[in-house]
Amino acid sequence: MFDAFTCYGADVAALAIVTAFVTQILKKTLLKYADKKIVAFLPFLVGVALYAALMAFGDCSVFSDLGGYLTLFERGILVGALATSGYVMYERLSGGKSGTFKEDLIFRMLSGFIEEQSQNAVASEIAATAAGEKRSGDILEILKNFALSEVSEGELSALAELISRTLEVIEKTP
Protein backbone atom coordinates (compact mmCIF):
# COMPACT_ATOMS: atom_id res chain seq x y z
CA MET A 1 0.00 0.00 0.00
CA PHE A 2 2.80 2.43 0.92
CA ASP A 3 4.60 1.78 -2.40
CA ALA A 4 1.44 2.51 -4.38
CA PHE A 5 1.00 5.73 -2.41
CA THR A 6 4.54 6.93 -3.18
CA CYS A 7 4.72 5.65 -6.77
CA TYR A 8 2.59 8.44 -8.23
CA GLY A 9 3.74 11.24 -5.91
CA ALA A 10 0.59 11.23 -3.81
CA ASP A 11 2.78 11.20 -0.72
CA VAL A 12 4.44 14.46 -1.74
CA ALA A 13 1.14 16.13 -2.66
CA ALA A 14 -0.58 15.09 0.57
CA LEU A 15 2.36 16.13 2.71
CA ALA A 16 2.60 19.46 0.88
CA ILE A 17 -0.96 20.28 1.95
CA VAL A 18 -0.21 19.29 5.54
CA THR A 19 3.07 21.24 5.40
CA ALA A 20 1.31 24.39 4.20
CA PHE A 21 -1.16 24.21 7.09
CA VAL A 22 1.48 23.38 9.70
CA THR A 23 3.70 26.20 8.42
CA GLN A 24 0.90 28.75 8.63
CA ILE A 25 -0.06 27.62 12.13
CA LEU A 26 3.54 27.82 13.32
CA LYS A 27 4.02 31.26 11.73
CA LYS A 28 0.95 32.62 13.50
CA THR A 29 1.63 31.04 16.89
CA LEU A 30 5.04 29.78 18.01
CA LEU A 31 7.10 31.63 15.41
CA LYS A 32 5.16 34.88 15.38
CA TYR A 33 8.19 36.89 16.47
CA ALA A 34 10.87 34.55 15.13
CA ASP A 35 13.67 35.60 12.83
CA LYS A 36 12.37 35.88 9.27
CA LYS A 37 15.25 33.71 8.04
CA ILE A 38 13.82 30.77 9.96
CA VAL A 39 10.35 31.42 8.59
CA ALA A 40 11.70 31.47 5.01
CA PHE A 41 13.09 27.93 5.41
CA LEU A 42 10.17 26.68 7.51
CA PRO A 43 8.16 24.93 4.74
CA PHE A 44 11.26 23.02 3.69
CA LEU A 45 12.18 22.03 7.25
CA VAL A 46 8.61 20.92 7.98
CA GLY A 47 8.52 19.06 4.65
CA VAL A 48 11.68 17.10 5.49
CA ALA A 49 10.41 16.33 9.01
CA LEU A 50 7.01 15.14 7.79
CA TYR A 51 8.54 13.06 5.03
CA ALA A 52 10.91 11.48 7.56
CA ALA A 53 7.91 10.54 9.68
CA LEU A 54 6.17 9.07 6.65
CA MET A 55 9.25 7.07 5.66
CA ALA A 56 9.64 5.76 9.21
CA PHE A 57 5.98 4.77 9.24
CA GLY A 58 6.24 3.01 5.89
CA ASP A 59 9.56 1.22 6.17
CA CYS A 60 12.23 1.95 8.78
CA SER A 61 14.89 0.10 6.78
CA VAL A 62 15.13 3.03 4.37
CA PHE A 63 17.35 4.79 6.92
CA SER A 64 19.96 2.02 6.77
CA ASP A 65 21.97 3.54 3.91
CA LEU A 66 22.86 6.86 2.35
CA GLY A 67 20.31 6.41 -0.45
CA GLY A 68 17.47 6.47 2.05
CA TYR A 69 18.66 9.77 3.50
CA LEU A 70 19.11 11.28 0.04
CA THR A 71 15.56 10.26 -0.87
CA LEU A 72 14.36 11.79 2.39
CA PHE A 73 15.97 15.16 1.69
CA GLU A 74 15.02 15.17 -1.99
CA ARG A 75 11.38 14.39 -1.30
CA GLY A 76 11.28 16.62 1.80
CA ILE A 77 12.56 19.61 -0.20
CA LEU A 78 10.04 18.77 -2.91
CA VAL A 79 7.26 18.79 -0.30
CA GLY A 80 8.43 22.22 0.92
CA ALA A 81 8.63 23.58 -2.62
CA LEU A 82 5.15 22.31 -3.45
CA ALA A 83 3.74 23.73 -0.20
CA THR A 84 5.32 27.12 -0.89
CA SER A 85 4.06 27.05 -4.48
CA GLY A 86 0.58 26.16 -3.30
CA TYR A 87 0.55 29.06 -0.88
CA VAL A 88 1.74 31.47 -3.56
CA MET A 89 -1.04 30.24 -5.85
CA TYR A 90 -3.54 30.79 -3.03
CA GLU A 91 -2.26 34.36 -2.56
CA ARG A 92 -2.48 35.03 -6.29
CA LEU A 93 -6.02 33.70 -6.53
CA SER A 94 -7.13 35.69 -3.51
CA GLY A 95 -5.66 38.88 -5.01
CA GLY A 96 -2.78 39.18 -2.56
CA LYS A 97 0.10 39.51 -5.03
CA SER A 98 0.89 40.73 -8.49
CA GLY A 99 3.76 39.78 -10.77
CA THR A 100 4.73 36.46 -12.26
CA PHE A 101 4.33 33.22 -10.38
CA LYS A 102 8.11 32.73 -10.18
CA GLU A 103 8.60 36.23 -8.80
CA ASP A 104 5.96 35.70 -6.12
CA LEU A 105 7.48 32.36 -5.17
CA ILE A 106 10.98 33.83 -4.88
CA PHE A 107 9.68 36.89 -3.02
CA ARG A 108 8.33 34.63 -0.25
CA MET A 109 11.80 33.15 0.27
CA LEU A 110 13.69 36.45 0.50
CA SER A 111 12.26 37.73 3.77
CA GLY A 112 14.98 38.13 6.40
CA PHE A 113 17.79 37.91 3.86
CA ILE A 114 17.24 40.91 1.57
CA GLU A 115 16.34 44.51 2.36
CA GLU A 116 12.57 44.83 2.34
CA GLN A 117 12.44 47.63 -0.25
CA SER A 118 14.62 45.60 -2.66
CA GLN A 119 12.78 42.27 -2.44
CA ASN A 120 10.53 42.82 -5.47
CA ALA A 121 13.45 43.85 -7.68
CA VAL A 122 15.59 40.93 -6.49
CA ALA A 123 12.74 38.47 -7.06
CA SER A 124 12.28 39.80 -10.61
CA GLU A 125 15.98 39.60 -11.36
CA ILE A 126 16.29 36.05 -10.02
CA ALA A 127 13.19 34.92 -11.92
CA ALA A 128 14.84 36.15 -15.12
CA THR A 129 18.00 34.04 -14.64
CA ALA A 130 18.45 31.26 -17.14
CA ALA A 131 17.95 27.67 -16.09
CA GLY A 132 21.00 25.46 -15.96
CA GLU A 133 23.87 24.23 -13.87
CA LYS A 134 25.21 27.67 -13.03
CA ARG A 135 21.84 29.09 -12.00
CA SER A 136 22.60 28.67 -8.30
CA GLY A 137 25.82 30.68 -8.68
CA ASP A 138 24.02 33.44 -10.59
CA ILE A 139 21.34 33.60 -7.92
CA LEU A 140 24.01 33.77 -5.20
CA GLU A 141 25.64 36.75 -6.90
CA ILE A 142 22.30 38.57 -7.10
CA LEU A 143 21.59 37.82 -3.43
CA LYS A 144 25.04 39.07 -2.37
CA ASN A 145 24.36 42.44 -4.01
CA PHE A 146 21.22 43.06 -1.94
CA ALA A 147 21.77 41.01 1.24
CA LEU A 148 21.32 42.42 4.70
CA SER A 149 24.64 42.98 6.46
CA GLU A 150 23.99 40.37 9.16
CA VAL A 151 23.38 37.54 6.65
CA SER A 152 26.36 35.21 6.20
CA GLU A 153 27.61 33.95 2.87
CA GLY A 154 26.73 30.40 3.95
CA GLU A 155 23.12 31.41 4.54
CA LEU A 156 23.00 33.11 1.15
CA SER A 157 24.51 30.06 -0.51
CA ALA A 158 21.90 27.79 1.08
CA LEU A 159 19.12 30.18 0.05
CA ALA A 160 20.45 30.36 -3.53
CA GLU A 161 20.51 26.57 -3.78
CA LEU A 162 17.00 26.31 -2.32
CA ILE A 163 15.63 28.91 -4.75
CA SER A 164 17.37 27.18 -7.66
CA ARG A 165 15.95 23.76 -6.72
CA THR A 166 12.47 25.19 -6.20
CA LEU A 167 12.55 26.84 -9.63
CA GLU A 168 13.68 23.55 -11.18
CA VAL A 169 10.65 21.82 -9.65
CA ILE A 170 8.31 24.56 -10.89
CA GLU A 171 9.76 24.47 -14.41
CA LYS A 172 9.39 20.68 -14.62
CA THR A 173 5.74 20.86 -13.57
CA PRO A 174 3.45 21.00 -16.62
Task: Report domain extents, the chain.
Answer: 1-96, 99-174
Tell me what pLDDT residue 1 has.
42
Rounded to the nearest integer, the mean pLDDT of the chain is 81
| DSSP 8-state secondary structure symbol assigned to residue 100 | -
pLDDT tens digits, 19-33: 999 988 888 888 888
- The residues near 115 (Cβ < 8 Å, ≥ 6 apart) are 146, 148
3-state helix vs strand vs coil in the chain, percent to 5: 80, 0, 20
Beta carbons of 164 and 136 less than 8 angstroms apart: yes
Tell me what pLDDT residue 103 has.
84
Tell me what pLDDT residue 7 has.
58
pLDDT tens digits, 95-119: 655 667 788 888 888 888 988 888 8
Tell me what pLDDT residue 46 has.
93
Averaged pLDDT, 10-15: 85
Q: Can you say whether residue 132 is alpha, beta or left, with left for phi > 0 and alpha for psi between -120 and 50 degrees?
A: left
Q: Can you say whether residue 59 is alpha, beta or left, with left for phi > 0 and alpha for psi between -120 and 50 degrees?
A: beta
Q: Enter the pTM of the model.
A: 0.62
Tell me what pLDDT residue 144 has.
92
To the nearest whole percent, how much of the chain has pLDDT over 70? 83
Report how far residue 110's alpha carbon sits from residue 155's, in angstroms, rounded to the nearest whole number. Answer: 11
Report how far residue 121's alpha carbon sits from residue 119's, in angstroms, rounded to the nearest whole number. Answer: 6
